Structure 1
Amino acid sequence: MKKNYEFKQVEKEMQNFWKENAIYNFDQESQNEIYSIDTPPPTVSGSLHIGHIFSYTQAEMIARFKRMQGYNVFYPFGFDDNGLPTERLVEKEESIIAKNLPRSEFIKRCATVSEKYEKEFKDLWQSLGFSVDWSLQYETINPMVQRISQQSFIKLLKDGKAYMKESPVLWCTECQTSIAQAELETIEKDTTFNYLKFKVGEESLLVATTRPELLYGCACLFVNPEDDKYKKYIGKNATVPLYEYEIPILTDDKVDIDKGTGVVMCATFGDSTDVEWYETYKLPYRKVILSDGTIDESVPLIGGLKVLIARKQIIGLLLENGFILESKNITHTVAGHERCGKEVEILPSKQWYIDILTNKEQFLKAADEINWYPEYMKNRYVLWVENLKWDWCISRQRYFGVPFPIWYCKNCGNVIIADEEMLPINPLETNPNKSCSCGRNEFIPESSVFDTWATSSVTPQINAKWGEENDISNRILPMSLRTQAHEIIRTWAFYTIVKSLYHTNQIPWKDIMVSGFVLAKKGEKISKSKGNSQLAPKLLIESHSADVIRYWAASSKLGTDTFFSIDELGIAKRFITKLWNASKFSISHLQDINLNADVDLKPVDRWIIERCKQTAVNARKLLDQYEIGPARHEIDDFFWKDLCDYYLEIVKERLYQPEIQGYKERQSAQYALYYCMLNILKLYAIYVPHITEYIYQEFFRQKENSISLHKLYWETEEFINDEIILFGEKLKEIIAETRKYKSENALSMKTEIEEVVITTDDKFMELFKRTIGDIKACCRAKKIKIIQDI
């Protein structure tokens, strides 16, 4: 082996070797138990950052681990390239606005940009040594996926789970599309709390609001029925300031007596409570805000203005006319669209929905059937389901997405559903191959597309090729594992559970592994939108190596957030150097090993083999719980301390000087060293696949019956000899004490000392007697005295 490890050459070489030999391909013919992984298809919305590397690499390690436990691993990869995130990327990259281009031209540009980013993403994952079966790759806009997505919608529609209605909907005026509750984020905004005077006869009734621009949309005032201050006003009418029309004063126990003045203005629509009151009390709809974020032209005084300008103008007019008693500057939270950060409005619109509110109990029950890792992440899911207020709106008024496979009859308005053999279909380009039940043949195509989550929520079905000729649903559903980050529990995890229960009446996967975030600074995750991800993964890999980045990614407990800086990679680099040097040293002494020799193992060799087995057992238990970080620390502890700090130092003389220590004794050390180094490579193979494979190919492949280290299995021996482990611990104490003595007395570790006295239990006497040669050599002692502890 070379003096130094050259990662730039090795990593590329190993990646090509794996590809050429199809090392990671799913074996359709294998009888081994299948372990299937539902991997998040990364959204094509910009470049990947170190946070993506963190979570995706942790999942990839589990794929490698399960493969080395004897499973037939089904590990696909996809790209989520349809929907609003991709559209916004294209608009930004090409300095265009979608609505200003012909639809077909914009879609073409989206496809081109997606293809470019998908190649970048794939190159990055491959440069990290991902053991993905790339023949299973999918894109959420490709024809097969569109067909499965459209088929999913048609089944939901026929089963009464999907429906269309005109009603208030969450609307992003920036992206100009409806959105779902799961796409909201909380935004802090500075604004004014304005105390307005509504007239009730000759009296003034104070109403506090942050949205005076909605005055023209005011449908009524609400007070709490238990609020004595306002009982005399109940049932009367109030006059809206500036607009001088009357509205009723009603009661509802949702009104917070202690908030503002205790009188609430209900406008169409300020928030979800307004919607609830609107529907409960059959209030009139008064149009104010339009889909583009401007005030309707018909609204006096502020028509045609943007919302914030309208708010400023209406406040000026209210002040001018004496309708504002006071204004307070406040910071409050509002609902924003997670994709663009813009405040969300609620507007009436005709949209397609999936019914989720009537089946909340079913979704909560499903959470109990899934194993959550870490377990506390289940609480986030439960809280989300319990607090759902809206059915899932799945239609988007955008362009680059999976089309709804439906038309509307021009004559009677009937919904015409595409026949399944026509899928995938774009109704804008194709007519249904049938007449409406009313006998007419003129149709209006649905121009909306599915919300991107409506498609990515069927990734288990996509992986299984649900409904396709090569459908393997019966082999891989429910899937073994879903891996994802915690911020998409409310979207990807929830929606996938919904679709799976609706389509298959079973959970989508048995286990869910939820990773944490990588933070740029305290409390802030690294993300493209925040502009704090300057450390591009490609450059990090080129500068520091894929194995170094991977080793760092396995540093923490599952689900916990971690900080990243270049300094963090120093530990990983030292580890790579240590593994290389330890392997180089070991292999130099193993060239003449006879693996068929009858070896009488010395106690210290038995100890290191048992510790190696024990490490594999402990690491496996942790990895079965998806605890990648603690498992790595368990292996590190064995490698750095027991193997390198102690064992290699103990057996050096036996390896170098068999003429003094004995040839049989050297054979024993060789056997233990071979066993431990091979198993160390297996244990670390899931974390640092390139260097471990390279070392294996350099020497161990000649001895083992496997083309690749990654096709070998971990040690399966569960029984651990506790007595020999305890002997090893006592031996380490003796060596540590001797080193401490030399250090305190300013002696070189090579300085020979007169005597080492060992006091030990009777059960260890014989083991220590058989180890005298090793102790003498390691401690540089002339004499070893062993005394029985009484």
Structure 2
Amino acid sequence: MSELAKTYDPVGIEARWQQVWEKYGAFHPDPTGKGEPFAVVIPPPNVTGSLHIGHAFNTVLIDTIVRYQRLVGKNVLCLPGTDHASIAVQSILEKQLKKEGKTRHDIGREAFLELAWRWKAENGERIVSQLRRLGSSVDWQRQRFTLDEGLSEAVKEAFVRLHEQGLIYRGEYLVNWCPASGSAVSDLEVEMKEVDGHLWHFRYPLSNGEGYLEVATTRPETMFGDTAVAVNPTDERFAHLVGATLNLPFTGRQIPIVSDDHVEKEFGTGCVKVTPAHDPNDFVIGQRHGLPQVTAICKDGTMSSAAGRFEGLDRFEARSAVVAELEAEGLLVKVENYRHSVPYSERGKVPVEPLLSTQWFIKIEPLAARCREVFDQQGPHFVPKRWNKVYSDWLTDIRDWCISRQLWWGHRIPAWFVISETDFRHTDSTPYIVARNETDALAEAKVRFGAEARVKQDEDVLDTWFSSGLWPFSTLGWPDTDAPDFKRWYPTSTLVTGFDIIFFWVARMTMMAGAFTGKMPFKDVYVHGLVRDEQNRKMSKSLGNGIDPLLLTERYGTDAVRFALVREVAGTGQDIRLDYDRKKKSSLTLAASRNFANKLWNATRFALMSLGGDTPAQLGDPDPSALQRADRWILSRLARVNRETSLRYDHYSLGEAAKGLYEFAWNDVCDWYLELSKRRLNPGKNPSAVALADQRTAKQVLAKLISQINLMLHPLMPHLTEELWHSITAESETNLLALQPWPVVDNASLDDALEGAFEELITAIRVVRNLRAIAGLKPSQSVPVRFVTERADLTSILRQGIADIIALTRAESVVLMTPAEAEAMPVAKVLASVSGELQVLLPVEGLVNLEVLKGRLDKDLVKAEREINNLAERLGNPNFVDKAPPAVVAQCQANLAEAETQAALARKRLADLV
């Protein structure tokens, strides 16, 4: 491990270290181990899923956090798992059966579940293997599945306890129904889509024959479920009609006119058809007025018997037929084009139908109330804080949760209907018993209903979000509160999640945890944004703008992708934009991260060659009295970056941590310190004792730098840093960087004044290098350099750094002078530049072709003046200034100021050469 290949090969390195980490159980913690507990239970992806950039982003953020917490000495558990995804898996299997001309009912429940488990065994680990490739430092030995035995027992226990508390009940209410999957679906499984539709206006005749009311709807087929027409109580146009009745076309039924505050009298016709069995708002109106509930659409999406002659038609076929009949009857007033939102089943890919259905529900308000009561004391605490209010608001005015699904794949509801020995059917009124198993259910049935009683388990399964709501504690052994993992790591420490599931998952976990553990399931909720494409659009299948992260890792390396994603996080909770050229399949952001990885690789190779086989442990710490100025500067910077990085990791400022480490490693270490130390590390033939002592000091500083940089970068780039750290330390693979202690901040090395002085020295060197480039000097050409300043302290800084200036600028000589002394100098053709209170003069006469140089400066001036004219014209256009976004206008103004500065500088340089 003491040698590094000339070229960095991320694929081979990453695969090897992933195997090593698992081989030695690096991330399999002992609940009795030392250190403060820190736990993250990873949001379980669906077993049907495949890795997308959102998964990658979430996984990288989690792994950055947990790897850092290990380094600071905590006993870290990062627990992975997958969700059984009831609807998704069942949809896949039913499509397979359909190709064979079968349905699940043809093969029966037992055979269907055998098929499902077989499918899971063959396909369910795909996303897990993909997540492994991102280098996730999770405990794969503790991996859980929401349908595994332990979690299934937890689900049963939770259901029974909630039922015993009177919080679970069975009743008929309006639910989201997916005709394609034949099941109720949760709000999270409903996707609102903007569609181009129509608004149909038609007449309902008054029963007394004295006119009509006009209503408008986007769903004419639901008219057969109408049981009233509502108007606003303050609408004088219809006040005299409240209490009268209307004839519902095609049905022979009469429906009343009611007044209700829900109706907006200024919207549409001011009259609203009320269909309690097919619309959530109408359902509430119906309850207020005691209206009957008429189901016009069946669960398979066809019209019911209430639709009369339209019975049996598909709901959308019925729509066209009803409109045609209304027009034929002279009841259709007009049709308007209308763009509106329609709820679609995410899995079934069809519009959801609000339907009355007997389902199992949880009374949410008591659970939400507990969370509201402890929010200020127990949290969870959201990062950033603005999500506190979003979470708190969602816990208010919350509807009961429909938890039953008409599926077979999932947690079967632990309820048994009491039936007779000869009749295995049950109805909505059949008595039932909730129990932990069939034996208990049957025993209770015999006690309550007689010795002849029989039981049959409910066919339905629980909403996937029910088991997901238990995830933070069921995975740790609950309901066994004495389980070692539960006692050690519950409550967990941090949840990392996107903002889009705060309402559906985060809140459900806190409610379930409050009910069963009395504690909130996590201390912090770190909310991140979305990964957007190069046009700032959300990535989606419909837009076709998604990016496969595995393709990126193959091209750039996993660590480069990880670093790029985290570095782009401008602030906690902000979306990030990932530039990606789809034609070239390339990204400047990822290329920059890959270049950074190469930079670290080459810096470590340089260190290995310079250290001559010595390791940091062998070299030891440098003697403070032997440190040169550059050593003291870089050690001060190292201590400061260590402190800043630790604070940023602690406060979830991961993007800032990445940026700070990048700047330090690339600029301070590679661009400056390595260059400054080269002549000390290679003192030449027959070096003196002093030179050898200084060489050892430079080695000690270099070894410390490289080893600590890799340690601090490890949470972001784990594979690369593990490889480089082992190379520089020559440690065996059993002693892993991932398990090392975070370096102690050397506060004694911090020196604000020295860092400020060195920054001014670096600036002066940069200016000289820039002037050399403008002059077109060859690297071998030496040129005298003059620094002009009135500041005595700056003169002192430059004087102490003359040897460094000469070494890094190839200066023939360095002269320090005041402005008065510069004025007294003989007139000479020079290139000049100003930086703050420092003027740098570079005499170039006799060293370069002045005419060629003037020509180059003329071109620079013309380019700058053209830019000035274009920008000034743009800013002089009122349409641009008034209508463009403020940020665009501000950037244009900044570009103009920069162009004017460049033009002035070019003119000054031309004047100096005259």
Shorter-chain TM-score range: over 0.9
User: Bigger CA drift: 465-474 or 765-774?
Assistant: 765-774
Deviation, structure 1 residue 52:
1.3
Contact 2:509/2:521 (8 A) holds in 1: yes
Equivalence for 1:590:
611
Other-structure match for 1:417:
434
Partner of 2:882: none
Equivalent in the alignment of 1:122: 128
Select between 342-351 and 661-670 the one with higher mean Cα deviation. Answer: 661-670
Q: Is the 8 A contact 1:32 1:72 kept in 2?
A: yes
Q: Aligned equivalents of 1:622 and 1:81: distance in 2?
A: 36
What is the letter of the counterpart of residue 377 of structure 1? Answer: W
Offset of residue 432 of structure 1: 3.9
**1:372 aligns with one of 382, 404, 407:** 382
Q: Distance in 2 between matches of 1:177 and 1:465?
A: 31
* Equivalent-residue separation in structure 2 for 1:460 and 1:321 (angstroms): 60
1:630 equivalenced with 2:656 (yes/no): yes
C-alpha distance after superposition, 1:514-537 (max 9, x if no partner)? 22222346464334x537366444
Structure 1 Cα separation of the partners of residues 666 and 784 of structure 2: 29
Does residue 1:516 correspond to 2:529, yes or no? yes
**Contact 2:343 2:351 survives alignment (8 Å):** yes
Specify the alignment match of 1:779 in structure 2.
Answer: 809
Q: Identify the match of residue 194 of structure 2 among 184, 188, 194.
A: 188
User: 1:721 is matched by which residue type in structure 2?
Assistant: D
CA shift in 2, pair 1:713/1:784, >3 Å:
farther
* Shift of residue 279, structure 1, vs aligned partner: 1.6
Pairs aligned (count) = 780
> Larger relative CO (CA 8 A, sep 6+): 1 or 2?
1
- In the TM superposition, residue 471 of structure 1 has moved relative to its aligned partner by 4.7
Change (3 A) 1:345 1:358: farther
Alignment of 1:388-403 (within 5 A): 388=398, 390-403=399-412
Residue identity matched to 2:435: A
| Code of the aligned partner of 2:729 | F
Report if the CA contact (8 A) 1:45-1:88 is conserved.
no
170, 174, 182: which one pairs with 1:168?
A: 174
Alpha-carbon deviation of 1:197? 1.2
Alpha carbons 1:555, 1:632 under 8 Å: kept: yes
Match of 1:155 in 2: 161
Alignment of 1:107 with 2:113, yes or no, is: yes
Whether the aligned pair in 2 keeps the contact of 1:171 and 1:291 (CA below 8 Å) is yes
Equivalent residue in structure 2 for 1:700, among 729, 740, 764? 729
Alignment match, 2:702: 673
Kept in 1: contact 2:203–2:332 (CA 8 A): yes
CA 1:701/1:151 → structure 2, altered by over 3 Å: closer, same or farther? farther
Residue 562 to residue 767, structure 1, CA distance change in 2 (3 Å) = closer
Which blocks of at least 5 consecutive residues in structure 1 are unaligned?
none
SS of the residue 1:221 aligns to: strand
Residue 84 of structure 1 pairs with residue 97 of structure 2: no
Q: C-alpha offsets along residues 59-113 of structure 1, whole Å, 9 cap, x if unaligned?
A: 1111111111211111010010241122223344665554554222222222222
Conserved? CA contact 2:496–2:525, under 8 Å: yes
Indicate whether 1:244 and 2:252 are aligned: yes
For the residue of structure 2 that corresponds to 1:185, the secondary structure is: strand
Q: State how far apart, in whole Å, the 2-side matches of 1:95 and 1:548 are.
A: 44
Q: CA shift at 1:159, angstroms?
A: 1.6
- CA–CA separation in structure 1 for the residues paired with 2:808 and 2:519: 61
SS at match of 2:214: strand
Aligned match of 1:724 in 742, 751, 754?
754
Tell me the equivalent position of 1:321: 329
SS at match of 1:618: helix
Alignment of 1:20-35 (within 5 A): 20-35=23-38
Rg (Cα) greater in structure: 2
How far has the Cα of 1:46 moved from its partner? 3.3
1:418 Cα deviation (Å)?
A: 2.4
| Equivalent of residue 268 in structure 2, options 260, 266, 271 | 260
Alignment-derived partner of residue 715 in structure 1: 743
Give the superposition deviation at 1:34: 0.9
Partner residue in 2 for 1:560:
574
Residue 652 (structure 1) aligned with residue 682 (structure 2) = no
The answer to whether 1:754 aligns with 2:789 is no
Deviation at 1:662?
A: 2.1
Q: Give the C-alpha shift of residue 768 in structure 1.
A: 6.0
Amino acid at match of 2:226: C
Corresponding residue for 1:42? 45
Per-residue deviation, 1:164: 1.5
Unpaired segments ≥5 residues, structure 2: 421-428, 581-585, 819-836, 839-914
The equivalent position to 1:51 in structure 2, one of 54, 75, 79, is: 54
Q: Distance in 2 between matches of 1:377 and 1:718?
A: 37
CA distance in 2, matches of 1:500, 1:533: 38
**Cα distance, 1:118–1:620 mapped onto 2, change above 3 Å:** farther
Displacement after TM superposition at 1:786 (Å): 6.1
Tell me if the contact between 1:49 and 1:533 (Cα under 8 Å) persists in the aligned partners: no
Q: Quick one: distance in 2 between partners of 1:383 and 1:335?
A: 23
| AA of the residue aligned to 1:418 | A
Which amino acid is 2:737 matched to?
L
2:364 aligned with 1:356, yes or no? Answer: yes
Structure 1 partner of 2:493: 480
The answer to whether structure 1 residue 544 and structure 2 residue 560 are counterparts is: no
CA contact (8 A) 1:219 1:268 kept: yes
Q: Give the Cα–Cα distance (whole angstroms) in 1 for the partners of residues 523 and 734 of structure 2.
A: 31
Helix, strand or coil for the counterpart of 1:41? coil
Q: Does 1:685 align with 2:706?
A: no
Q: 1:500 aligns with which of 504, 510, 513?
A: 513
CA deviation profile, 1:149-168 (whole Å, cap 9, x unmatched): 11111111112222221222
Give the TM-score taking structure 1 as reference length. Answer: 0.93
Residue-by-residue CA offset, 1:222-276 (whole Å, 9 max, x unaligned): 1101111111111111111232321111111110111110011101333211110
Root mean square deviation of aligned Cα: 2.7
For the residue of structure 1 that corresponds to 2:678, the secondary structure is helix
Cα distance in 2 for partners of 1:384, 1:530 equals: 29
Of stretches 133-142 and 82-91 in structure 1, the one that deviates more from structure 2 is: 82-91
Mapping of residues 63-74 of structure 1, within 5 Å = 63-74=66-77
Give, in angstroms, the shift of residue 705 of structure 1.
Answer: 12
Q: Which residue in 1 is equivalent to 2:859?
A: none
- Cα drift, residue 596 of structure 1: 5.7
> Do the aligned partners of 1:416 and 1:436 also contact (CA within 8 Å) in 2?
no
2:751 and 2:530 map into 1 onto residues whose CA distance is 40
Which of 704-713 and 204-213 deviates more? 704-713
Amino acid of the residue matched to residue 683 of structure 2? Answer: Q
Q: CA deviation at 1:771?
A: 4.3
C-alpha distance in 2 between matches for 1:266 and 1:205: 13
- Work out whether residues 163 and 434 of structure 2, in 8 Å CA contact, stay in contact via their aligned partners in 1: no
- Cα drift, residue 142 of structure 1: 0.7
Is contact 2:761–2:801 with CA below 8 Å preserved after alignment? no
Report the Cα distance in structure 2 between the residues aligned to 1:387 and 1:577, rounded to whole angstroms: 55
Contact 2:781–2:810, Cα closer than 8 Å, also in 1: yes
| Cα shift at 1:314 | 0.5
CA 1:613 to 1:760, structure 2 compared with 1: closer, same or farther past 3 Å?
farther
Say if 1:482 and 1:513, in contact at 8 Å, map to a contact too. Answer: yes
State the AA in 1 paired with 2:345: H
Determine if contact 1:606/1:672 at 8 Å carries over to the other structure: no
What displacement does 1:479 show? 0.9
Q: How much has 1:24 moved relative to structure 2?
A: 1.7
The answer (yes or no) to whether the contact 2:707–2:728 under 8 Å persists in 1 is no
